[in-house]
Structure 1
Amino acid sequence: MTQLTSAITDYWDAAAPTFDEEPDHGLRAERTRAAWDRRLRAWAPPAPAGILDVGCGTGSLSVLLAAAGHRVTGVDLAPQMIDHARAKLSAAGLEGRFLVGDAAAPPTGDERFDVVLCRHLVWTLPDPRAALGEWVSRLRPGGRLVLVEGRWGEAGLPYVAGAGSLPWSGGVRADDLATALRPLVADLRVEPLSDDADLWGGPVDDERYAIIAQVGISS
C-alpha cells in the first residue's frame, strides 16, 4: 500500500462514524431517501440484478438496492466504512456482501455483474482512467456502468496530504468524464442532477450528474 493510499484509508476510516450526518450520505430524511430510490430504480435493470457498489461507504445505496430485490456486493477501502455498511444492511433485515478492498480494482475475482455503481469516488483515485477500464471489465455483456459524480472543488475539511496530485482532485466535469469513458462502452448518456435538491438535502450550486453507460452485448 502506498503512503497516499494508506492516508486515504485512514481518512475515510476516521470519517466513518459521522459520514451519515450528510443528508445524501445517510439518507435519513424520507424525501432524500425516496429521491435516491427513484433514481436507482431508473438506472438499474429489473430485479434481481447483480450489482457491484464500488466505494460503497456506509452502504446507504446498497441498502436501497438490496431492498429493491437486487444482489448487492459493496467494496470500500476503509474497514470502518464496511463495518457500518454491514451493520446497516443487517439492521434492515437485508442480505448483501461487503468486502474491504480497493474500489479501483475490486476483490471479486472473475465474477461479472449486471451493474457497477460508483458515487463520488473517482476524485479520490490515483489512476481514475485505469479504474474505469477495470469497472467496465467487471460487467456482463450488455451491463451498465453508473457513475454519480460532480465537480465541486475544495469544500469542507482539507483532504489528505498529497491529494493535490490526484488527477481529478475536486471532482471531474461531465464532459471530461464522458470523454474518458466513451471509448470503453457502446453508448452513454449524461443525466444532470444539480437541480434535484431532494437528492442532496437542499439546493446545490455546483455540477453534479450521473453517467449511465452500457457495454456491448459481445463484450
Structure 2
Amino acid sequence: MGDPSRAIADYWDAAAPGFDDEPDHGLRAAGTREAWGRRVRGWLPAGAVDVLDAGCGTGSLAELVAADGHRVTGVDLAPRMVARARAKLAAAGAAGRFVVGDAGAPPVRDGSFDVLLCRHVIWTLPAPERALRAWVRLLRPGGRLVLVEGRWREAGAGAQPYVAGAERLPWNGGVGAEELAAAVRPLVAELRIEPLSGDAALWGGPVDDERYAVVADL
C-alpha cells in the first residue's frame, strides 16, 4: 500500500465544515477560548514575532496568535480548512497569511520564523521525525517549537484507523509525551513538557487521555 497522505488530506477536507463544532477546535465558548489564549500567551515570546501554525486547521489558534499582535502564517494540507481559516481571521479583523501545503514540509523559507506552533497534527504525518527536522530549519536562531499533542483514548488496542492506511503511520492515534520529547531533544537546546490533560477548560470538559505540550528552544 502507498502513502496515505492523500486519504488523510481528503479526510480533513471533508471534516472542515463541522470541525469547529468540537469545543477545542472552534473555541466558541468564552471559557475555552480564554483557556487557550492563556496557554498561547505563555508559549509565545513577548513582543511581535513571526509564528508558523503548521496544520492550522480552521485557524482558531492562528486567530489567537494574531489577536496578540504576532505575525502569523498558517499551512494546512486541506484546502477547505485553509479557506475557513482565511475567513475566520478576516471576520475577526485580524491579519494572517494562509497557504495550502504539507504541514510536515511547509512551503515557506528556512529561517523565516521565531515560533513554530503545531497542535494535534504530528500523529497524522507519514514521517514525523523528518518533519521535526524540517520545522527546526524553519526557525531563526533561538527559535521555539510548541507542539501540542497527545495519545488519544480512542487509539487503544483494536481501534480502527481513521482512514485507510493510517494504521501504518508511525504515531497513528497519537504519541506520548516522553516519546515525542525523545525525538525533539537532539534538535534543541532546552525542552519542557507541559501537561494539559488536567485543564478541563481547554477541552470543553474533563478528559482522561494524555494531552500535553512540548515547548523546546533552539
Same fold (TM over 0.5): yes
Task: State the partner residue of 2:9.
Answer: 9
Give the Å deviation of 1:157.
8.3
Contact 1:153/1:171 (<8 A) preserved: no
Give the Å deviation of 1:5.
1.2
Provide the C-alpha distance between the structure 1 equivalents of 2:211 and 2:4, rounded to a whole number of angstroms: 26
Provide the C-alpha distance between the structure 1 equivalents of 2:208 and 2:51, rounded to a whole number of angstroms: 30
1:78 and 2:81 equivalent? no
* Secondary structure, counterpart of 1:154 in structure 2: helix
1:211 and 2:214 equivalent? yes
* Secondary structure, counterpart of 2:84 in structure 1: helix
* Secondary structure, counterpart of 2:154 in structure 1: coil
Moved over 2 A (4+): 153-158
Correspondences of 1:1-219 after superposition (within 5 Å): 4-154=4-154, 158-215=161-218
- Give the partner amino acid of 2:125: L
Q: Deviations over 1:91-117 (max 9, x none)?
A: 000111000000001001235211000
- Give the partner amino acid of 1:57: G
The alignment's TM-score, normalised by the length of structure 2, stands at 0.95
Which blocks of at least 5 consecutive residues in structure 1 are unaligned? none
Q: Deviations over 1:121-173 (max 9, x none)?
A: 01100000000011111111111000000001436985110000000001000
Provide the C-alpha distance between the structure 2 equivalents of 1:167 and 1:5, rounded to a whole number of angstroms: 13
The alignment's TM-score, normalised by the length of structure 1, stands at 0.95
Q: CA RMSD in A?
A: 1.3
Provide the C-alpha distance between the structure 1 equivalents of 2:102 and 2:184, rounded to a whole number of angstroms: 20
Over the matched positions of the two proteins, sequence identity in percent amounts to 68
Provide the C-alpha distance between the structure 1 equivalents of 2:160 and 2:126, rounded to a whole number of angstroms: 20
